[in-house]
Amino acid sequence: MLISHAFESDGREAHCYTEVRETEDLPTVLQFWMGHMARDLLRLGVYFRAAALMCQIPGGARYRPIAHDDVDDDLPNEDEDPRRWVRRADRDTAFNVLAECLRRLGAAGVMKQVPGGKDYEQIELSAEWKEYLDRRAKNKHGLLNVIAQCLDELIVGPGMAEIDDKPQATWWQQWWARM
């Protein structure tokens, strides 16, 4: 089975196949694949920046996401999911939560590598956040899950927004938008 990526080019549908023989408009397909790869390479750079930080944290290289549900008593319920907590927090709070998690895991020095982290001065977390982190610390990968979400919010998300939201789109962004 051939894999096809469909996109619109000059008002008509075009397809990019993984086999040259099936390609109808080779110059257009070459531009499509270059644009596709350019975005993916930039995206990998953003991801690797966050992943490299994660690997410097004790246990980070063996990090495992914790599934949340309301059925298994051994797993925290969905209200404890870091996405629910960190995503609704402002940037300063996410910085403070990340710094506290790193401190608890003995990796406070990693904070200097987070964008904006060199000038960061930790502010006391609210009692609600401290209690949340205390609960997360009871699970083997609990604090690492919070750190991963903080890195997504502070590095990956903004990095992808920067890649995709330029005042004037690059040629490869124009191609990506057509898909």
The domain segmentation of the chain, as residue ranges, is 4-48+169-178, 58-163
Predicted local confidence at residue 9, as pLDDT? 64
CA torsion through residues 161, 67, 141, 98, sign: positive
Predicted local confidence at residue 166, as pLDDT? 60
- Per-residue model confidence as pLDDT tens digits over 1-57: 445 566 666 677 777 777 777 777 777 777 777 877 888 888 899 999 999 999 999
Give the strand pairing for 4-9 and 12-17.
antiparallel
Q: Where are the alpha helices (DSSP H) in the chain?
A: 26-55, 82-86, 91-104, 127-137, 142-151, 157-164, 171-178
Residue 19, C-beta contacts closer than 8 angstroms, at least 6 positions apart: 2
User: Is 71:107 a contact under the CB 8 Å cutoff?
Assistant: no
Predicted local confidence at residue 21, as pLDDT? 77
C-alpha 67/C-alpha 140 separation (Å) is 12
pTM above 0.85, yes or no: no
Question: Mean pLDDT throughout 123-148?
Answer: 94
Indicate if the pLDDT at residue 144 is higher than 90: yes
